[in-house]
Amino acid sequence: MMAPMKLLAVLACVNGLRPPANTPLARDTRAEYSKESAGPQIDLLAKQHRMTVMSVERAKLEVFAAYAPRIAELEAQLKIKELEAQIAANGAAPANGAAAIPIAPSAPVALPDAPAAPTLDFLEYAEIPKTAFKPTAPYKSAIRSVKRAIGPDAPGEICHVVMTTEGKLPYVEGQSVGVVPPGNKGGKPHQQRLYSIASTRYGDDGAGDSVSLCVRRAVYVDPETGEEDPAKKGICSNFLCDGSPGDVVALTGPVGKGLLLPESPDADVIMVATGTGVAPYRGFVKRLFDEQTPANDAFTGRAWLFFGGPTSDSILYPELWDAAKASKPDQFDLTLAISREQTNEDGGRMYVQHRIVEHADEIFDRLDNGAHFYLCGLKGMQPGIEAALEEVCDKKGLVFKDWVKALKKDKRYHVEVY
């Protein structure tokens, strides 16, 4: 009799995963505010709440779908055990053992239709959000999740960190926020560290109440011993990568206007990055391809991402790039430079600048037709990229300094290095 009881216990647990038949996607949200701010604040909270509820419902459906075959199997096993128990209680045995017990095939598990992706339009700002929080008075955020963002065989560690904003720290794609790590140095608080925002203004779940960062854990390895020196590790990156849900994080900002998406929806976007420099481009691509936003509907240009990393496992957010290509095949391109796995035309390691030279004609054609060029990543990458662009300019009879100066004047050459 223990086996049926265990099966019943398992089924009781998994049944909790079944989504309710008629779950409302919005509930009444009530809060107390001053008369001056009550209207817009309640509207914003209601929309954020609705997005959160829909996100939870989608997650429940995904989990239930993953467990559906196992649920059906357990239900069939339970029927067999129940019949065996009834036969044993009546003092009889089946003629040919348990296999002879007539069991009707389990009905297929019916999954409710997943709710359609909601239209996100409640954070479409008329102006770029200005700095709302400074290091002396930061916003007290809390970590929601910290997940490794690269494969197990990639060198080093990069984490995707999601933190709450409660809608109090508005931002747009391409801006940055500062993180003030806890503790002090020499009796003074640590200085803030700036990070490019890796989410859209609506956050990763569409509720508009969170912000995401792409953080590389900074460590120092002694060249003589080959061991990490804890005294020289990055204070802020290790604080974030070691964070747990609920940990308080002091945030500042937002800041930055130099790495924003073009105002024109038909402009091409050429994005170049290595490692965590891809963070702002994640926000760009989610807004233009993944989320149901006015920007997605209006975008008629092409987005082209050049990404460099040491190994295939180092590619950040590959699912997003695949989804973008699937949703708009003619409007998204991805070109990879995997230094330890690919070779350039000279037989050496493949870096992003080599890809720039390979595709120079198309890149320059797009720039001649109004495309925007973005460069984001470590400072060490900028000289190589610009040397490649200068090489192409020389071949085309252009003066690099004049060419790049004209792009900057037209606000179509965007650089953010650190």
Contact 171, 283 (CB under 8 A): no
Which residue has 């200005």 as its token pair? 130
CA distance 224 to 221: 9
Contact 251, 169 (CB under 8 A): yes
418 a catalytic residue:
yes
Contact 313, 150 (CB under 8 A): yes
CA distance 20 to 57: 9
Contact 283, 181 (CB under 8 A): no
| Of 141, 196, 212, 339, catalytic | 196
For residue 177, report the phi and psi dihedrals to the nearest 5 degrees. -125, 155
237 a catalytic residue:
no
Give the containing element (helix H, strand E) for 52: helix 38-89
DSSP string, 85-153: HHHHHTT---TT-GGGS--PPPPPPPPPPPPPPPB--TT--SSPPPP-BBTTB-EEEEEEEEEE-S-TT
Token couple for 206? 């569409």
Token couple for 31? 């809060």
Cβ-based burial of 19 (10 A; exposed 0-12, middle 13-18, buried ≥19): middle
| Of 210, 376, 393, 413, catalytic | 376
196 a catalytic residue:
yes
CA distance 367 to 87: 79
Q: What angle do CA 25, 26, 28 make, to 5 degrees?
A: 155
Q: Among candidates 400, 326, 330, 322, which has minimal Cα distance to 360?
A: 400
| Of 139, 171, 195, 351, catalytic | 195
Give the containing element (helix H, strand E) for 215: strand 210-216
DSSP, res 159: E
Residues identified as active-site: 195-196, 376, 416, 418
